[in-house]
Chain A
């Protein structure tokens, strides 16, 4: 099987099979990210498909230079679509975020201690961009370089921002 740069190069030339391989590598991650943000499975699925459609259309302009990764490219487009969707969906309340783990999409046996609940609530109170940074850094385990490509801020500024976000979370849950 081709490695990722080869698949990207083939997809850029219009090879749908190569793009299918890229899709299979990332669609579950993108779905998870969309679902975690939107709390709606149907919308999350639509955004996954829309994300991959948009990436296909603009993959010609994608470059691995300057630390670009296809993963960051996918998350950036997915994030923009989530923002658009959230704007349209006025009823999307941040409180929904608190109920993660209480629906059918999360496997059973999830520990729900009170500290975790507090943190969940604190996460819901963060600004959208800060929450995305937490998701990408701590849940998706992305590098600073990749997150900076998704969120479009400089790496140095991102490190400082993460430090501040953690401080704020501590403040919100009363750890300080």
Chain B
């Protein structure tokens, strides 16, 4: 019964007439609105460029990461030095180069005298550069503290390996540069009065002890 009536309504439904405008112009109107399919060449170039840039970025990060384990004389050592320079310039870790070259030197002295020599040269070079950078930045105090720690590390390491001559030399170089940083030499190359006193305190144990004894005497009086 209900199915019969649904059939009747269906016949009405099917008699709904499509308007003439839609018949004659429907597709014409629509075809003008349809956006072109296919790949836009500019989009393709952009997408390829983006993929290429991403690949380069990932590779660069990988190479820089691997380079961090390299030692002086290795193929990727230049990359490591470059990444450190970036870190120094960015102010992320200004003393990173000096600290790492010192660690490299201590590591390399355990391997061979040749490796130790190369590492020592790198350390000396980095030390000079580090001093310049610290002076430019005006952070000589931090640099001095770093050098003090380096000197201590070299002294401790000297007894443990066979190439201690390089470590000794490095410790001496460190002390020298430390002195120069402290020195803040004037334009004629002479130490200022204040620096003389300071270097005297650190370099000459006798001065320090005699000064102290004078103080002690006064207290005694």
Check if A120 sits within 8 Å of B34, measured CB to CB: no
**Bitwise interface map of B from 18 to 39 toward A, beta carbon under 8 Å scored 1, else 0:** 1101100011011101111110
Check if A123 sits within 8 Å of B9, measured CB to CB: yes
With A166-B2, A173-B2 in contact, is A139–B26 under 8 Å at CB?
Answer: no
CA distance A5 to B36 in the complex (A): 21
Check if A138 sits within 8 Å of B18, measured CB to CB: no
**A19 CB within 8 Å of chain B:** yes
**B218 CB within 8 Å of chain A:** no
**A85 CB within 8 Å of chain B:** no
CA distance A153 to B58 in the complex (A): 45
CB distance from A56 to the nearest CB of B (A): 5
Check if A52 sits within 8 Å of B10, measured CB to CB: no
**B92 CB within 8 Å of chain A:** no
Scan residues 1-58 of chain B and give those whose CB is less than 8 A from a CB of chain A. 1-2, 5-19, 21-22, 26-27, 29-31, 33-38
With A13-B37, A175-B2 in contact, is A35–B16 under 8 Å at CB?
Answer: yes
Check if B5 sits within 8 Å of A119, measured CB to CB: yes
Check if B12 sits within 8 Å of A16, measured CB to CB: no
Check if A101 sits within 8 Å of B18, measured CB to CB: no
Check if B31 sits within 8 Å of A135, measured CB to CB: no
**Bitwise interface map of B from 92 to 109 toward A, beta carbon under 8 Å scored 1, else 0:** 000000000000000000
Check if A20 sits within 8 Å of B31, measured CB to CB: yes
CA distance A100 to B6 in the complex (A): 13
CA distance A31 to B30 in the complex (A): 14
CA distance A113 to B12 in the complex (A): 13
CB distance from A7 to the nearest CB of B (A): 14
**A123 CB contacts on chain B under 8 angstroms:** 9
Check if A100 sits within 8 Å of B5, measured CB to CB: no
**B18 CB contacts on chain A under 8 angstroms:** 27-28, 31-32
**A110 CB contacts on chain B under 8 angstroms:** 11-12, 15
**B26 CB contacts on chain A under 8 angstroms:** 23, 27, 45, 48-49
- For this complex, 14 residue pairs linking A to B, each with C-beta atoms less than 8 Å apart, are A13-B37, A27-B22, A27-B27, A28-B18, A32-B13, A36-B16, A45-B26, A48-B22, A53-B34, A101-B12, A106-B15, A139-B6, A139-B13, A173-B2
> A residues bordering B, Cβ < 8 Å?
13-14, 16, 19-20, 23-24, 27-28, 31-32, 35-36, 41, 45, 48-49, 52-53, 56-57, 60, 100-101, 105-107, 110-111, 113, 115-116, 118-120, 123, 134-135, 138-139, 166, 169-170, 173, 175
